[in-house]
Amino acid sequence: MTIRIVHFINQFFAGIGGEEKADHRPEVREGAVGPGIAFKEAFGEEAEIVATVVCGDSYFNENMAAAVDEVISMMENYRPDLVICGPAFNAGRYGIACGAVAETVVNRLGIPVVAGMYPENPGVDMYKKSAYIIETSKTAAGMRKAVTPMARLALKLARGEELGSPEEEGYIPRGIRKNQFAAERGSKRAVEMLLKKLEGEEYTTEYPMPVFDRVAPAAAIKDIKKAKIALVSSGGPVPKGNPDRIESSSATKFGKYSLQWLDDLNPGNSETAHGGYDPVYANEDLDRVLPVDVLREMEKAGEIGSLHEYWYATVGNGTSVANARRFATEIAKELNVAGVDAVILTST
């Protein structure tokens, strides 16, 4: 069966016009248009470009949410097996449009996407995790060179074949960590790497050190005696019996538990679900992880406004940053709705 492909390009590559036509609204045309002709040749009999969706760069970037919806629904009508975006080379707005379409296609239609961009195109950093982006030259002079690996990768993905390394396939590494068995054991690779480093020879680290986001600090609390304070913890404090069965490592969920009627945590009412530290002390007295006793006393004495009636807990042991970010987003949303002013987050 022929693989059905929909191609996404901008107004310039569709031959509509340059900057003066950049507000062109999404439209769909049957078959291959512009660079699609070169793809058609590369695919031969195996795949067919059934439609091309065109959108102006300015229109897309100024109306991102609406434009994405329009583009995707046009694509959907053609029941594609795969989508190709660009190549966008070093055109920034075109790259972002390609990336946004690619990400949405993957999430909404659940089919693979191949895009093409110059590594410094801002679309690369924004969307490389979602789509395979083939590395291209800066300008459209490199069209031929871009089409060959894009078409080859597209066919492989559509057939569900195993991919080679980013270098072999020509795509920009997405930063997705994937296990594989190496030819030599880790200790031997370490010795080799050290010898190279000592000699001043070139070597490649197997894991570039991570970089984390930053957020602006929140404003200070004006009157703590009126503030509603919530407790959140990654130390795994849960009611006795771990009712949500939060995992001891690599948590996939968080729990929300009522503090009503609780003035003190003890082995009768609570425990830790965390598998990454010696649990004996936490299980003896969970206030050591989640300081309910002291905060209750402060609440009664009027030293704080109130203690929020729920605490939130997860296990921060081997839990991915992606999961942690998702928990935080959901917890923050609920705390906002509940009118919580400040959070004490405890970690083990």
Residue 277: which of 289, 294, 261, 263 has the closest Cα?
Answer: 289
Q: Check residue 107 for interaction with other proteins (CB under 8 A).
A: no
- Does residue 15 belong to the site contacting other proteins (CB under 8 A)? no
Q: Report, in Å, the least distance between residue 337 CB and other proteins.
A: 17
Counting contacts by CB under 8 A, is residue 220 touching other proteins?
yes
Contact residue for other proteins among 17, 19, 44, 129 (CB under 8 A):
129
Q: Of 25, 34, 125, which is closest to residue 86 (Cα–Cα)?
A: 34
**Which residue in 276, 334, 340, 275 sits closest to 306, CA to CA?**
340
Q: Which one, 22 or 102, has the nearer CB to other proteins?
A: 102
- Answer for which of 65, 141, 219, 337 binds other proteins (CB under 8 A) is 219
CB of 133 to other proteins, least distance (A): 13
> Would you state the structure tokens that stand for residue 32, as one six-digit string?
């291959």
The nearer residue to other proteins, 58 or 266, going by C-beta atoms, is: 266
Q: Is 320 in the site for other proteins (CB under 8 A)?
A: yes
273-302 positions binding other proteins, by CB under 8 A? 275-282, 284-285, 287-291, 293-295, 297-298
Nearer of residues 144 and 178 to other proteins, judged by Cβ: 178
CB 55 within 8 A of CB 11: yes
> Interior CA angle at 3 toward 92 and 147, to 5°?
35
Q: In angstroms, what is the minimal distance from the CB of 346 to other proteins?
A: 5
Determine, following the binding rule CB under 8 A, whether residue 142 of this chain makes contact with other proteins. no
Report residue 51 as tokens: 């439609």
- The smaller minimum CB distance to other proteins, of residues 119 and 173, is found at 173
Number of residues that bind other proteins (CB under 8 A): 93
64 binds other proteins (CB under 8 A): no
How far apart (Å, rounded) are the C-alpha atoms in residues 305 and 226?
4
Pairing of strands 255-258, 237-239: unpaired
Distance CA 147, CA 47 (A): 14
Q: Which residues does 281 contact at the CB level (< 8 Å), separation at least 6?
A: 288
Nearer to other proteins, 11 or 270 (CB): 270
Determine, following the binding rule CB under 8 A, whether residue 126 of this chain makes contact with other proteins. Answer: no
Which residues in 16-55 contact other proteins (CB under 8 A)?
none
Q: Which stretch binds other proteins (CB under 8 A): 9-17, 22-30, 135-143, 202-210?
A: 202-210
248 in contact with other proteins (CB under 8 A): yes
Find where tokens 């629904």 sit.
73
Is 261 a residue that touches other proteins (CB under 8 A)?
Answer: no
76 versus 184: smaller Cβ distance to other proteins: 184
13 half-sphere exposure, CB direction, 13 A CA radius: 29
User: What x/- string results for residues 148 through 187 when contact with other proteins is judged by CB under 8 A?
Assistant: ---------------x-xx------xxxxxxxxxxxxxxx
Span interacting with other proteins, options 25-33, 87-95, 146-154, 240-248, rule CB under 8 A = 240-248
d(CA 12, CA 49): 19
* Nearest CB to other proteins, comparing residues 29 and 326: 326
The per-residue DSSP string of 98-157 comes to: HHHHHHHIIIII---EEEEE-TTSHHHHHHTTTSEEEE--SSGGGHHHHHHHHHHHHHHH
d(CA 142, CA 294): 67
Answer for the pair 106, 113: CB distance below 8 angstroms, yes or no.
yes
Report the residue number, 70 or 287, with the smaller CB distance to other proteins. Answer: 287
205 interacts with other proteins by CB under 8 A: yes
Based on the shown chain and the rule CB under 8 A, indicate whether residue 212 belongs to the binding site for other proteins: yes
Q: Are 222 and 297 in contact (CB under 8 A)?
A: no
- Within 326-345, the residues that bind other proteins by CB under 8 A are 342-345
Contacts of 142 (CB under 8 A, 6+ apart): 89, 136
